[in-house]
Amino acid sequence: MKKILLSCFTVALIMTSCKTKTDSTDQKITMQLEAKSGSNASGTATFVESNGEVTFTAKIKGLKPGVHAIHIHEKGDCSAADATSAGGHWNPTFEKHGKWGASEYHKGDIGNFTVDASGNGSITMSTDEWCIGCDDDNKNIVGKSIIVHEGADDFITQPTGDAGGRAACAAIIK
């Protein structure tokens, strides 16, 4: 009887430990975008990590209609009026600037999204090249920032993509 109880207790403990470990990998960070450089931009940016993949979603309003770039920048600091305090594009692997998924690109080169006539736009992407708070400096997005640019990324100009000024900023903080 004692062996059976001990075995049941051990199985229950293992099952509980496994469940806790699985649940702890699901993480979410949502940030409010702050208008910068005299823009009227606002909105939210959300990162959700589940099963080793991070999904990013941004919903932005108050921008001029057209194509705008959005990037992860190297510092989680939006204190400057023009968001230059966020530094340059996050590029822990020292690649050339480019289009996400091309032969070379920064880990922060998210890309472009379209804003409609009402000033609203959104973008969603998923990748296993990012993580939320992990120990890998080449993947960890915490402590960086999201920057929405006034113009489109041309995916060519080094190191910025010639995307223009910084219309909105949000620090990626847990």
Q: Which fold does the domain 26-171 belong to in CATH? A: Immunoglobulin-like (2.60.40)
Phi, psi of 25 (to 5 degrees): -85, -20
Phi, psi of 139 (to 5 degrees): -125, -25
pLDDT digits (tens, 9 = 90+) for 81-138: 999 999 999 999 999 999 998 889 999 999 999 999 999 999 999 999 999 999 999 9
In the predicted structure, residue 77 carries a pLDDT above the cut 90: yes
What pLDDT is attached to residue 26? 87
Q: How far is CA 128 from CA 90, 118, 138, in A?
A: 16, 33, 12
For the chain, which residues make up each domain, given as ranges? 26-171
What pLDDT is attached to residue 31? 97
**DSSP single-letter state for residue 19:** H
72/21: higher pLDDT = 72
Q: Name the band, by pLDDT with cuts 50, 70 and 90, for residue 74.
A: very high
Q: Are 29 and 55 in contact (CB under 8 A)?
A: no
Q: pTM, whole model, 2 decimals?
A: 0.85
What stretches of 62-127 adopt beta strand conformation (E)?
A: 66-73, 111-115, 121-127
